[in-house]
Amino acid sequence: MVSVEGIDRMISEHPFFSGMEPGYQAMIAGCASNQSFEAGQYLIREGDNADHFYLIRHGAVAIEVHTQGQTSVTLETLHEGDVLGWSWLVPPYHWLFDARAIQLTRVIAIDAACLREKAEADHSLGYELYSRIMPVMSERLSAARLRLLDLYGSPRKGQ
């Protein structure tokens, strides 16, 4: 289901774009649509073109990787207020993982080609976008590194 009703307001209210200059928010709204996904429905499939990214308004999404013949592994879950996807910023613009709604999920979908074009034409907008996405990437990289430590795994032999 796709709708464009109230998209400006939704963008201004989403934490990812909070505090952004209204002119930029309006430019982004021109590339945005309102979408919803039922539990189990995929927003993103590995290998597909990264032609959208998503701002989660309600619900939850699992980032998954699959191995042939085995149950998919969930790498991380994203929730209300999170942003989903950055492969749209990195050539050749293909998704690296799957993303599946684990409950009814409402998102603002942003047309990546449209926004890339606007950012190319207005580098200040591009800078604004990157300065919002980089902290998210940094936080997720840091979280992934923490999980590599297997914090709760078996400790060294104790008493």
Residues that bind another protein (CB under 8 A): 60, 62, 64, 71-77, 79, 81, 100, 102-103, 139, 143, 146-147, 149-155, 157-159
Place of tokens 């952004």: 20
**Nearer Cβ to another protein, position 27 or 59?**
59
Alpha-carbon gap, residue 148 to 28, rounded angstroms: 36
| Closest to another protein by CB, 7 or 43 | 43
d(CA 32, CA 27): 9
Residue with Cβ nearer another protein (131 or 159)? 159
Sign of the dihedral defined by the CA atoms of residues 60, 66, 71, 76, in that order: negative
From the CB of 158, what's the least distance to another protein, in Å? 4
Question: Which helix or strand (DSSP H or E) is residue 136 part of?
Answer: helix 123-148
CB of 104 to another protein, least distance (A): 12
